[in-house]
Structure 1
Amino acid sequence: MNKTELIDAIAADADISKAAAKRALDSVISNVIKVVTKGNSVQLIGFGAFSSGKRAARTGRNPQTGEALKIKASKTIKFTAGKTFKDTVNKRNK
């Protein structure tokens, strides 16, 4: 499912226009990004939590040459699925 298909599904489920569904989805995404960028987390009970983490600087290897490379420290984005989400996925895969 891509973003357009998700907007169509939201519009149908909520009985709203596709334009309103797009604005709502864009707002959710934008606000999750803003909050996580500030170092906070967004927790949606039953669905999951978005948060940021830190990845320390480390040494890696160039796979073509085997040469050691320095990899800079960076921030990462994490998503942890909620219990209800996990349970639903696991029941459908049985």
Structure 2
Amino acid sequence: MKYTEIIKAIAKNTNKPEKEISRVLKEFKNIVIKEVAEGNEVNILGFGKFYRIKMNPRELKLEGKTYKVPARFVPKFKAGEKFKKEVNKGKK
């Protein structure tokens, strides 16, 4: 499902204009990105949590050459129990 399809589905289910849904979803994304970038967790009960982890510096060997990869933070998502349960029910 694409971003625009999500907006249309929410608009249909809530009888709200797509423009309004788009603004709310955009703001939600901005808040999650800002909070995780600052080192905070964003926990949505039953859905999951967004957070970041620190990757230590390392060396990468590729085709006989060695590259240094600097330390960095990467975003992570951990699905909540309800999310996991629903996904498992839907397996085919």
Please classify the TM superposition score into its range, dividing by the shorter chain length: over 0.9
Question: Under a length normalisation based on structure 2, what TM-score does the superposition of the two structures give?
Answer: 0.96
**Which whole-Å deviations, capped at 9, do the CAs of 1:11-69 have from their partners, x for residues lacking one?**
1111100001101110110110111111001000000000011000001111xx22121
1:8 paired residue number: 8
Q: Which residue identity does 1:79 align to in structure 2?
A: F
Q: May I ask how many residue pairs the two structures share in their alignment?
A: 92
Match of 1:83 in 2: 81
The one-letter code of the counterpart of 1:90 is N
Q: Secondary structure at the match of 2:21?
A: helix
The TM-score, its normalising length taken from structure 1, stands at 0.94
> Structure 1 residue runs of 4+, over 6 Å off?
none
Give the percent of matched residue pairs that are identical in Structure 1 and Structure 2.
38
User: Which segment is superposed worse, 65-74 or 41-50?
Assistant: 65-74
Residue segments in structure 2 that go unaligned for 5+ positions in a row: none
Unmatched 5+ residue regions in structure 1? Answer: none
Query: Within 1, Cα distance between the matches of 2:4 and 2:11?
Result: 11
SS in 2 for 1:93: coil
After superposition, residues 7-86 of structure 1 pair within 5 angstroms as: 7-62=7-62, 65-86=63-84
